[in-house]
Amino acid sequence: MAFMIRGAAVVALALGLATAAHAQKPVTLLNVSYDPTRELYQDVNAAFTAKYKVDKGVAVTIRQSHGGSGKQARSVIDGLEADVVTLALAYDIDEIAQKARLFPADWQKRLPDNSAPYTSTIVFLVRKGNPKNIKDWDDIARPGLSVITPNPKTSGGARWNYLAAWGYAVKKFGGDQAKAREFVARIYKNVPVLDSGARGSTTTFVERGIGDVLLAWENEALLAVKELGPDKFQIVVPSVSILAEPPVTVVDKVAKKRGTLEVAQAYLQFLYSDEGQELAAKHYYRPRNKAVATKYAATFPRINLFTIDEMFGGWTRAQATHFADGGVFDQIYENR
């Protein structure tokens, strides 16, 4: 018995030492995100890790993974160990919740604003001088125009593009879905190349010089103009567009397994902080924080925005109708 007691004491001591050692250990997070957020999260990561080091004394390293939102979601479902996901649309995160069961199905209720700390919308990027005189969605559907947009089957941004066009058409034609479909079909007749992600489409339009107009995230378009110069490109804001809400969540099971849950939660909370909101606005994402939004009001033109819920009844219905295999998009694109 004495032997057992001594053994238990040694075990307890060793565990205590091990736990103490664990508390000081650097933490690594993996943020699996969508295509155009590279620059945003580079800055967010730097700011958060510095703050966390000061507040908690823990060194955090954050790795980033970017790609088409749908593709990224599939990677997580297939086993990519993300501590947090910051994707383009709620449907992709719902897919992870349903298929991999890595976090609760009501994940969107865990953070404010449906877990979307910033928003964006869809605008047009055209070449300087707007040589094709593109002003609104009707111009995108003109015969002979070359329109660049990614593949809605793999890209979250592309799905927002598609739904923005559809929503405009529904409004234009007084709710006539058949006419909306014909309108969107005309747009996709003008699409010569389907990239898998929004960043790929930007490359196609900007670097490869293909097309007359790029349907783009507002932040991506503003970034392109800033990076490449207003002497080469300009933004055209359509009369109507869609309110895009890219959401975020902690991947509970992975974070718990890796012992990163606390850091992962703090990381996403940081996006809602004044500093996080400033960074979002700096990278051309529309901030939720009213004070920050007011400060950056000049950056973001006022647009008549509709939401996915009011126009399509939510992501689940939109996905099933338009983007599921054999859905409306497949029919449109195959019959081009």
Partner 1 sequence: MTDIDKAMLAAVARALHRLRFGSLEIVVHEGRIVQTHFTLGTDRTTGGPRFRGEKSMVTIRRKTGLVLVWALNAVVAAPQLLAQQDSAAAATQQRLDDLDQQVKILSRRWELYQDSVINAAKSRPSVSAGATGFQLKSAEGNFVLKLRGYLQADSRVYFSDDAQVLTNDLLLRRVRPILEGTVYRYYDFRIMPDFAGSAPTIFDAYFEARFEPEFAVRAGKYKPALGLERYQSATDVKFIERGLPTNLVPSRDVGLQIAGDLAGGVLNYNAALFDGVPDLASGLNDVADGKDLVGRLFIVPFAKQAENPPVDLGFGIAASTGNELGNTTTTALASYRSPGQATVFRYLTSSTAPVTGTVIADGRRERIIPQAYLNKGPLGLLAEYTISRQEVARDTGVTRTTEKLEHKAWQVEGSFFLTGERNSFRSITPKKQFDPFAGGWGAFELTGRYGELDFDDDAFPIYASPTASVTKEKAWAIGLNWHLGRNVKVMVNYEQTRFAGGATSGDRPDEKFFATRFQTSF
Q: Which residues would be at the binding site for partner 1 (CB under 8 A)?
A: 3, 7, 10-11, 14-15, 17-19, 21-22, 25, 78-79, 146, 192-196, 200, 204, 208-210, 257, 259
Q: How far is Cα 248 from Cα 52, in angstroms, rounded to an integer? A: 19
Smallest separation, CB 81 to partner 1 (Å): 12
Q: Cβ distance 125 to 221 under 8 Å?
A: yes
Smallest separation, CB 330 to partner 1 (Å): 17
Q: Cβ distance 116 to 87 under 8 Å?
A: no
Smallest separation, CB 1 to partner 1 (Å): 12
- Of 135 and 256, nearer to partner 1 (C-beta) is 256
Report which residue type is found at 144.
G
Smallest separation, CB 188 to partner 1 (Å): 15
Q: How far is Cα 102 from Cα 36, in angstroms, rounded to an integer? A: 25
- Of 15 and 320, nearer to partner 1 (C-beta) is 15
Smallest separation, CB 100 to partner 1 (Å): 10
Paired with 148 in beta bridges are 214
- Of 92 and 278, nearer to partner 1 (C-beta) is 92
- Please list, residue by residue across 90-116, b when 16 or more beta carbons sit within 10 angstroms of its beta carbon and e when fewer do: bbbbbbbbeebebbeeebbebbeeebb
In three-state form (DSSP H/G/I as H, E/B as E, the rest C), the secondary structure along 218-262 is: HHHHHHHHHHHCCCCEEEECCCEEECECCCEEECHHHHHHHCCHH
- Of 16 and 112, nearer to partner 1 (C-beta) is 16
Q: How far is Cα 85 from Cα 95, in angstroms, rounded to an integer? A: 12
Strand order in the sheet with 147-148: 147-148, 213-217, 122-127, 233-236
- Of 12 and 105, nearer to partner 1 (C-beta) is 12
- Of 36 and 211, nearer to partner 1 (C-beta) is 211
Smallest separation, CB 4 to partner 1 (Å): 8
Q: How far is Cα 42 from Cα 138, in angstroms, rounded to an integer? A: 37
